[in-house]
């Protein structure tokens, strides 16, 4: 066995081997220390991240709960709104039906009154037309009578016709004579035989 001396003899293979082993051991120790320090630093660095992740998870859970509550609230509001809208539509439909019924009754009554008024108006117009026709006929008769009365000969002929009709209806045949000649030579349109007195009566048809 070779004794260790100082300073070491670097030409001795055993010394070199021991030095190498010591160096490797020191390097391994340094690496372990470095790894330990790095792990501690990583753990300290990860603590805020872990806390943030926990806070984020809690926030996500709270958000999920809030969404569920909001969904339930919206469903309730939607159902309430739908129910209110249905009641409103039902009320509006009832009002519309009532208004339509009243309008129908009013229009029906107005139509009946209008029909009666038109019927009355038609009857009145017919009466006016008949009266107008009678007035026109009467006017024609009056004009014809005026023409007759304005002409002496025509007036005499008209009077004779009227006189003949009246006498023929009132007296029996033989009790009168038309266009009879009197004792003085004058001609009478009608001579009625009457006993004395007063005796025969001469009638002139002119007027």
Provide mean pLDDT across the span 32-55. Answer: 72
Question: 3-state DSSP: the chain helix, strand, coil percent, rounded to 5?
Answer: 75, 5, 15
Question: Does 13 reside within a domain?
Answer: no
Q: How many domains does the chain have?
A: 1
- The answer to whether residue 162 is domain-embedded is yes
> pLDDT of 60-92, one tens digit each?
788 778 778 877 777 888 788 888 888 888 888
17-26, 27-36, 115-124: which is most confident: 115-124
Provide, rounded to the nearest whole percent, the portion of the chain with pLDDT above 70: 80
CB-based contact 205:156 (threshold 8 Å): yes
Of the candidates 193, 191, 203, the residue with the CA atom closest to the CA atom of residue 159: 203
Instruction: With respect to residue 94, please indicate whether it lies within any of the assigned structural domains.
Output: no
Answer whether residue 185 is part of any domain: yes
Range of the domain at 131: 127-203
In a domain, 195, yes or no: yes
pTM above 0.85, yes or no: no
Q: What is the pLDDT of residues 90-106, one digit of tens each?
A: 888 888 888 888 888 88
């Amino acid at each position: 066995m070779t004794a260790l001396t100082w300073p070491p003899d670097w030409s001795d293979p055993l010394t070199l081997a021991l030095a190498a082993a010591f160096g490797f051991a020191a390097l391994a120790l340094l690496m372990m220390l470095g790894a330990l320090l790095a792990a501690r630093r990583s753990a300290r660095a990860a603590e805020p991240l872990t806390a943030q992740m926990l806070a984020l998870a809690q926030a996500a859970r709270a958000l999920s709960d809030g969404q569920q509550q909001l969904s339930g609230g919206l469903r309730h509001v939607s159902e309430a709104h739908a129910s209110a809208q249905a009641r409103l539509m039902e009320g509006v439909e009832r009002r519309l039906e009532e208004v339509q019924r009243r309008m129908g009754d009013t229009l029906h009554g107005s139509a009946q009154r209008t029909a009666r008024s038109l019927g009355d108006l038609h009857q009145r117009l017919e009466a006016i037309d008949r009266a107008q026709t009678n007035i026109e006929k009467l006017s024609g008769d009056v004009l014809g009578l005026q023409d007759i009365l304005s002409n002496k000969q025509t007036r005499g002929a008209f009077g004779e016709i009227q006189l003949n009709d009246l006498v023929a209806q009132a007296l029996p045949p033989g009790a009168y004579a038309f266009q009879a000649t009197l004792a003085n030579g004058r001609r009478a349109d009608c001579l009625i035989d009457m006993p004395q007195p007063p005796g025969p009566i001469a009638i002139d048809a002119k007027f």
